[in-house]
Amino acid sequence: MRNTKYLDIQEIVSDAIKRYNETSDINAFADDICWYSWPQSWPDTSCGFGGPAGQSFVSAQTLVVEFLFDKEMYVYHDGRYAYHVPVSDRFWRLANSHRLPGVINVDALEKLKDRVP
């Protein structure tokens, strides 16, 4: 399980800021965010997005952009935008264990979107 894909962090952060600014009354800038990144294991090459995929375990980089004043997290798996969720204890537990759900894991994703810890 080795990740060989290079992620352009600046490109991902810029995309997150653009997405955030499209839906917020506040314009965010690079100084308004923190980002976190780690390798995350997946059971197939879709990296949590579903669809046609090779059936082998793979490690892909997960990157999370946190907007500090709204406490919103924008999640990217393998360089692709996955979703955004509010900060919660549940989010941090999963992030700290490097197990954020993929887009296809609807139940886990709905629990993350719930602001209750």
Tokens of 51: 């669809």
Confidence bin at 5 (pLDDT 50/70/90) = low
Share the mean pLDDT of the chain: 87
Please report the pLDDT score of residue 6 as a whole number. Answer: 62
Rg of the Cα atoms in the chain: 14
Query: Residues 62-74: what's their mean pLDDT?
Result: 93
Cα–Cα distance for residue pair 35/17, rounded to 1 Å: 12
**In this structure, what DSSP letter does residue 40 have?**
E
Mean pLDDT, rounded, for 28-55: 88
Amino acid symbol at 59: S
Angle (nearest 5°) at CA 30 between 61 and 18: 75
What is the dihedral sign for C-alpha 95, 98, 102, 108? negative
Please report the pLDDT score of residue 109 as a whole number.
83
Determine the Cα–Cα distance for residues 22 and 79; give it in Å rounded to an integer.
Answer: 20
In this prediction, residues 2-24 reach a mean pLDDT of: 83
Q: pTM to 2 decimals?
A: 0.88
